[in-house]
Amino acid sequence: MRNIPIKKIAQILGINSDSELQVTGYQIDSRMIQPGELFFALKGERSDGHDFLSSIAERGALCAVVSRNYQGPNFGLILLPVEDVVASLQHLARELMQSCTSLIIGITGSLGKTTTKEFIATLLEGRFKVGKTYMNYNTKLTYPITLLNRTGEEDVLVVELGMTHPGDISRLLEIAAPDIAVLTKIARVHTAFFPRGLLDIAQYKAEIFSHPRTKKCIFYHGFQEYEEAVAAIQGEKIKISFSLDERTADYFLSSEYFVDERGVRAYRFDPPYKQLHILHNFLAAVSVARAMSMTWDEINAQVPKLKLPKMRFEQSERDGVVFINDAYNANPDSMRAALSHLPEPKEGGKRIAVLGMMVDMGPESDLIHREVGRFAQRYVDHLLVMGKEATPIYEGFGEMKKPVEQFFDFASLADRLKNLMNPGDVVLVKASRCVQMENLFNQLP
């Protein structure tokens, strides 16, 4: 929580300090430090936060949590030495959340976490004072930062909980568990760490429902893999389902944008986004708003304010070419969703896709990538593939003898795209986060 004396923070961390100076915020990224903030000097595979103490001091940082092994200068900062910086970050967040009076809404799933979080926050702002996860801060390092940077005045906190490995969700719940938990669609993401595939992913994602604090469980109805996981929910919890496919769900959205609430036609919306995967996020948000006792008219008044996060099917136009920047991340399901919802090109135009690898697909990675290439044949006229790891996409698409090319650096990829595209074309750009496919846009006119 912001505006807490260093003395209190030090006490929580088991350190002696007499400083009454107040910390105005918390960061783990030195580039984001603002005057008066506290910095956690984390040591990662590529960088060590202790190497940036000088730069955060120049940016006005007040203090830093550092390793006891650090022997360098303090650069005018108040240093709080601890045995384990990561553990101290999590411990501080957990302890300061003990006094939190805000209702917490937590979201997990394989697809659409950030979009659903943004939609939920926007709808609830029609009645409540809302705080939310910054960008997609949903890991063991970034989730605590979201919690620490709350003002303390929020009625509701809308947070994401991410999962890469089994048990990640449970570990985040130890820091702060939600009152209302939301489970969106699951998909083959990080399958290298889940040998039973969707069954394992559903089981570990459903851990979001497991904490005694969680009283309302909102989940997507339609996956067989969910049945066992949802059936295992223990305690007196309210289970609420939503679906675009199953009318038996508590909340069902029809193709005409009518919402049925527990089998009764309730309200018709005009969502600003009509793609099915985005409507899924929309319906999840509506279900949460109803669980928060908002009226249909209150919800509808907020719908025109809904915005997609950056690099999530983000549309723009340059010189008559429509670009779809969906470069934030990728898995087989999101690839298919993006490809199948491309807008129509103008008369004489073509659909171009620029695709890269999907990370952590496990032993079936080549097959999964090849299937995406084959799927793209239905919707794409010309495919450009980025990187060696995405070769199976190239091979799968090439089976139909449609134009496909492969590149290994952004400069040559950008040059080819500039020569290939014409006014009226639609260009999709998508890959896993590690590819940083958005760099392509920096090299286009």
Q: Please check whether residue 193 is in contact with residue 162, taking contact to mean a CB–CB distance below 8 angstroms.
A: no
Q: pLDDT grade, residue 186 (50/70/90)?
A: confident
The CATH architecture assigned to 4-84 reads 3-Layer(aba) Sandwich (3.40)
Q: pLDDT grade, residue 359 (50/70/90)?
A: very high
CATH 3.40.1190.10 fits 100-305, yes or no: yes
User: Tell me: the pLDDT tens digits for 373-392?
Assistant: 999 999 999 999 999 999 99
Q: What is the pLDDT of residue 136?
A: 86
Alpha carbon of 158 to those of 165, 288, 353: distances in Å? 23, 11, 34
Instruction: Identify the three-state secondary structure at position 300.
Output: helix
Strands 4-5 and 22-23 come out as antiparallel
pLDDT at residue 228 above 80?
no
- The rounded mean pLDDT for the chain is 94
Mean pLDDT within 190-218: 90
Mean pLDDT within 69-88: 97
Across 290-345, the runs of DSSP E, i.e. the strands, are 314-318, 321-325
Residue found by looking up tokens 């960061």 in the block:
27
pLDDT at residue 227 above 80?
no
Q: What is the pLDDT of residue 125?
A: 98
User: Tell me: the pLDDT tens digits for 2-12?
Assistant: 899 999 999 99
Written as six digits, the tokens of 346 are 């103008």
Question: What are the residue ranges spanned by the domains of the chain?
Answer: 4-84, 100-305, 314-443
* Distance from C-alpha of 272 to C-alpha of 259, rounded to nearest angstrom: 15
* Distance from C-alpha of 207 to C-alpha of 109, rounded to nearest angstrom: 11
Among 213, 97, 82, 214, smallest CA distance to 144 is for 97
Q: pLDDT grade, residue 38 (50/70/90)?
A: very high
* Distance from C-alpha of 216 to C-alpha of 357, rounded to nearest angstrom: 37
pLDDT at residue 444 above 90?
no
Calculate Rg over the CA atoms of the chain: 23
Tell me the one-letter amino acid at 246: E
Predicted structure pTM score: 0.89
* Distance from C-alpha of 183 to C-alpha of 17, rounded to nearest angstrom: 42
Alpha carbon of 352 to those of 181, 387, 437: distances in Å? 38, 17, 15
Q: pLDDT grade, residue 189 (50/70/90)?
A: confident
* Distance from C-alpha of 205 to C-alpha of 226, rounded to nearest angstrom: 10
CATH superfamily of 314-443: Mur ligase, C-terminal domain (3.90.190.20)
Tell me the one-letter amino acid at 360: D
Q: Please check whether residue 444 is in contact with residue 384, taking contact to mean a CB–CB distance below 8 angstroms.
A: no
Q: Say if 4-84 and 314-443 have the same CATH topology.
A: no
Across 204-330, the runs of DSSP E, i.e. the strands, are 216-220, 238-243, 251-253, 258-261, 264-268, 314-318, 321-325
Q: Please check whether residue 385 is in contact with residue 407, taking contact to mean a CB–CB distance below 8 angstroms.
A: yes
Q: pLDDT grade, residue 445 (50/70/90)?
A: confident
pLDDT at residue 275 above 80?
yes
Q: What is the pLDDT of residue 241?
A: 94
Q: pLDDT grade, residue 77 (50/70/90)?
A: very high
313: left (phi over 0), alpha (psi -120 to 50) or beta: left
- For residues 200 and 35, which has the higher predicted lDDT (pLDDT)? 35
